[in-house]
Chain A
Amino acid sequence: MPEITYREALRHALAEEIERDENVVLLGEEVAEYDGAYKVTEGLWKRFGDKRVVDTPISEAAFIGMGVGASMLGLRPVMELMFWSFATVAWDQIVNNAGFVRYMSGGLINCPIVIRGPANGGTNVGATHSHTPENMLANIPGLKVVCPATAYDAKGLMKSAIRDNDPVMFMENTLLYGEKWEVPSEEYLIPLGVADVKREGSDVSLIAHGRAVLTALKAAELLAAEHDIQAEVIDLRSIRPLDEEAILKSVRKTHRAVLIEENKPFCGVDAQISSMLMEKAFDDLDAPVLRISAIDAPAIYSPALEPLQLPRPTDIVSKVLSIC
């Protein structure tokens, strides 16, 4: 199976869906002639032309809202936010319009859009460019949120997101764009709402999403090699809809759970999962559910310190050792 980067996997998904459906149109800052600020859309403008791949001015509120409006008439806009951090200036369009137009119209309207772009810390760009808003957007009934951790998942989830008839918030990661994974050449889709067991284990469940999944996998290797602990790693992939069954199945097997995310702790995705485990797996647990999140401060710039702010494999190992 060929190995391609996370970035290429996304690009292939976009290209395949543009070819498949004439209503799919890519919009965003620098997505066309510049080939994408992070080169996700590289070559697509040359290949598909002005109509299908469109450079927008730096006007997130207008072009995100424009995509929402166009989707009401049947287009399937895929809009790039150069950073998910910039969603804050389009919040009204994302939340009130994309999120609620179906409800407010009593189900007369649906909004088949994808908003995509990187949502991560760890690149020394300071707090304004390091937002991870998956929890905030998953808080909105009407929106869907996915956070792929690998190239394989990124491609399959992107294709499903574009075909989905509801608004999907697709959160990528600049630190993963250049990483390679095996991705089949033939077409495949990954449904939203299905988690993936990235590593089987029997002693503790490490539950994560996005890049934290890779951190958890490294921690699992350390735990196995140095402590003879077999950790199972569950990759949520999709935040809303959420694969609750996969989480419960793993915890019922291992009886211990450590939840890892690169987001801040307060009302993070893992707070939701922790609450769910308390309610539904209380009798299965042999230890308290523990969480590891980013250090609860705005993302620091200092290249020397930022790596300490995000969860590291050693943080996970320590946490696991406290309950195993």
Chain B
Amino acid sequence: METAVKAQDYSPAPVNQALTSDDKLRFLREMLRIRRFEQAALKQYQVGKMGGFLHLYIGQESVAVGAVSLMGANDHVITAYRDHGHALAVGMNMNECMAELFGKATGCSKGKGGSMHYFAPDKNFWGGHGIVAGQTPLGLGLAFAIKYKGLKGAALCFLGDGAVNQGSWYECLNIASLWDLPVVYIIENNQYSMGTSLVRSSAFRTSLAERAQGFAMDWDVCNGEDLYEVRAKVQEAMDRAHKQSRPTVLEISTYRYYGHSVADAKHKVYRSEDEIERYKQDHDPIRLWKTRLIGEGVLTAEKYDEIDSAARQEAAESVKFAEDSPFPTAASISEDIYFEVDRQTIAGRTGKHFFND
């Protein structure tokens, strides 16, 4: 199922009218940084520098960059395991992210979380969660806490099109609407839940977001290849959260160029190479944004190359940083389990917490 591209131009939306040329170039830079970071990571994965899974976000960059660009001090974000894009968009640096993939002590989670579990609470980024839809109750909790504290904020909780068939999410939709919680559930619909296409995994009439209708909740769909549209639609949902404390389900159509993870060997079996190429040619969010900015006179081909080179350079340096960083010590396996133990509080020193000896 290819995205039905709407003809509407979202550049006149107030949230986009307010953008300066620098803002627009910054979005380009952020999207390119995500892409070049992940391409560098993929290369390192293929030569055995990291273990486990690597779920690449390439093709979807406009979604995280567009949504995160709207966040204020009391807005929070949480996502699933395809989390590199959101992490870099909130301002985590490539070094800590690459080092985490390498399992190094300098990684954002000290090598304890890996690709699927990036966190940056200081940047209002709450992960990075490995279980499909497992983050959706946590996102609800962020919204609950925002409201409990009387703050004007929103919790942006991302989930994939595969997550919409997990029961916990429906429990969340009910509570979010029932209690007027300021959560925005953003379905990043990249058309495939692992190796199963949308039409083979989900029953729907016109969209997945429509399921919110049954919970008396506002919902919308969005063409994710257009950064202006992402910003306009996410802003609308955030306004609803900020001003009315009401939740939204927003389904953003997008596409991933790589498999579910790098270990997904069949991703050119369950979909055609033609389909992938078509997206790269006609729907690539970076390519479209580049064309748009050149058309607006904000960007030149030379400036684009300059930004792209810087992103590639930064990614290459992050690989070197990760390479040069030490592995965590064996003793660190037993750290960061209990707050009270880590801090050596009285509670942490009372009773036996660990049972190897």
- Seen from chain A, the residues whose Cβ lies within 8 Å of a Cβ on chain B are 25, 51, 56-57, 59, 61-75, 92-93, 96-97, 101-110, 112, 141-142, 144, 160, 164-166, 191-194, 238, 240-244, 272, 276
Looking at chain A's contact residues, is the secondary structure mostly helix, strand, loop, or mixed? mixed
Question: Cβ of B144 and Cβ of A165 under 8 Å apart?
Answer: no
Known: A109-B121, A160-B347, A242-B352. A61 touches B137 (CB 8 A): yes
Closest to B132 in A: A92
Residues of B within 8 A of A276 (CB): 355
The range of chain B's interface size is 35 or more
CA distance A224 to B127 in the complex (A): 58
CA distance A102 to B335 in the complex (A): 10
Residues of B within 8 A of A62 (CB): 136-137, 140, 168, 171-172, 174-175
Residues of B within 8 A of A108 (CB): 109, 119-121
Question: Cβ of B109 and Cβ of A105 under 8 Å apart?
Answer: yes
Asked if B129 CB lies within 8 Å of chain A CBs, one says yes
Question: Cβ of A66 and Cβ of B141 under 8 Å apart?
Answer: yes
Closest to B354 in A: A141
Residues of B within 8 A of A66 (CB): 137-138, 140-141, 144, 172, 175
Question: Cβ of B168 and Cβ of A92 under 8 Å apart?
Answer: yes
> How far, in Å, is B95 (CB) from chain A's closest CB?
15
A93 in complex: contacting residue of B130, B134, B342, B351, CB < 8 Å = B134
> How far, in Å, is B81 (CB) from chain A's closest CB?
11
> How far, in Å, is A107 (CB) from chain B's closest CB?
4
Given A61-B168, A66-B137: 12 more A-B contacts, CB < 8 Å: A59-B175, A61-B137, A66-B141, A68-B137, A70-B144, A72-B126, A72-B138, A105-B119, A141-B337, A142-B338, A166-B339, A241-B353
Closest to A275 in B: B355
- Seen from chain B, the residues whose Cβ lies within 8 Å of a Cβ on chain A are 76, 78, 107-113, 117, 119-121, 126-131, 134, 136-142, 144-146, 148-149, 155, 167-168, 171-172, 174-175, 178, 335-340, 342-343, 345-347, 350-355
A102 in complex: contacting residue of B111, B148, B336, B346, CB < 8 Å = B336
Question: Cβ of A107 and Cβ of B139 under 8 Å apart?
Answer: no
Residues of B within 8 A of A65 (CB): 134, 136-138, 140-141, 168, 172
A69, A92, A191: most-surrounded residue (chain B CB, <10 A): A69
Would you list 10 pairs from A and B whose C-beta atoms are within 8 A, ordered by A residue?
A: A66-B140, A69-B145, A70-B148, A93-B134, A104-B109, A106-B110, A165-B340, A192-B351, A193-B351, A241-B351
Question: Cβ of B337 and Cβ of A103 under 8 Å apart?
Answer: yes
CA distance A101 to B110 in the complex (A): 13
Residues of B within 8 A of A64 (CB): 137
